[in-house]
Amino acid sequence: DPGYGPEDPRWIGAWWIGFLLQGVLQLLLTIPLALFPRRLPGQKRLPTNSEAKAKLSSGFKGLIAALKRLLKNPLYLSIVINTIMNIFGSLGHFMMLPKYMELQFRLTASDASLYSGPPGIIAIMLSTLLGGYLVWKYKPNVKSQIATMIILESISAVGYLLLMVPHCEKVQMSHFGLENHGLALEGLCNVNCNCTTKVFTPLCGSDGKTSYFSPCFAGCTENLNKSFSDCSCIMDPDGQGTNSYAKEGFCISLGCWSQALGYIISLPIIQFIASILKVQYTVILVRSINPEDKSIALGLFEALICIF
């Protein structure tokens, strides 16, 4: 027991559970794959060595020709570039989303992971299924699909920009002036406490507005169930130091939680809108190339995504 729980900024949850679950699911998926026969029914006979060498020789020439056709296909290149740009724009956002929500909305590490993960995953899953069903049901032509992509991409782009609007007020951290381009946390009330900045344990003062770096810098001497009292650096709401106390965590106002709630609701909606396009991208990609180039086109597509 480290002495603190999920509400503490130092808390690191069971980060390995996701990898364990993914490994188990992948292991289970290998079972149906292992049930496939060595040769599927109706498979053509294997070519002889001479036939294989001749096909390999012509295959290299065909590969070069196919690559030239793909690189001269503007629609194919547009889809590839658009996908890469989407990855550039969203990868960093999704990787740092829990930490962003934790700091921006004063959420605990566990709550930030909970609100940023499952809702988005469920939204993307349902959206992808819906996108595939709509393509299968209505069978739109390429022009209609491209027009839909432009509209939905524009909506999702504006939505992600608007997500930067919700925010909480800046944390009012108690300090005693500036020192070495930072806050001077040491004052007369805690000068004899030998405090260190190596351990960050924020406290919310009794006024409900001022946060403190740690119980030591707040001058607290009593601790009972993560509630601190007899804090020499904290003034009570009446402006006196006789009844000073603090509780663990940042000071969070009601307005901050409403901002966080708006962000938590809006993010899965925007992810749902953006993910409807996933199936359409693949459909347009396949329709934009010659039938004999499909395998090479998909391979090149995945290779470029991995490179960038």
Radius of gyration of the chain (CA): 29
Q: Which residues contact 235 (CB under 8 A, 6 or more apart)?
A: 205, 206, 207, 241, 244
Please work out, in degrees rounded to the nearest 5, the angle formed at the alpha carbon of residue 166 by the alpha carbons of 162 and 167: 140
State how far the alpha carbon of 146 is from the alpha carbons of 79, 143, 149, 288, in Å: 10, 5, 5, 11
* Residue 88, amino acid: F
Count of C-beta atoms within a 10 Å radius of residue 103: 15
pLDDT in tens, the chain (308 residues): 566 666 666 677 777 887 898 899 999 989 988 888 877 776 565 555 554 454 544 567 778 888 888 889 998 898 888 888 888 878 888 888 988 888 888 887 778 888 888 899 899 999 999 999 998 888 888 888 888 888 998 999 899 999 988 888 777 777 766 655 567 788 888 888 888 888 788 888 888 788 888 888 888 888 887 788 888 888 765 555 556 788 887 787 767 888 889 999 999 999 999 888 888 888 888 888 888 888 888 888 888 888 87
* Burial of 304: CB neighbours in 10 Å, binned 0-12, 13-18, 19+: middle
Residue 270 confidence (pLDDT): 93
Residue 155 confidence (pLDDT): 93
Residue 108 confidence (pLDDT): 77
State how far the alpha carbon of 63 is from the alpha carbons of 36, 105, 163, in Å: 29, 53, 45
- How far apart, in whole angstroms, are the C-alpha atoms of residue 141 and residue 128? 19
Residue 54 confidence (pLDDT): 47
- How far apart, in whole angstroms, are the C-alpha atoms of residue 198 and residue 196? 5
- Tell me the pTM: 0.71
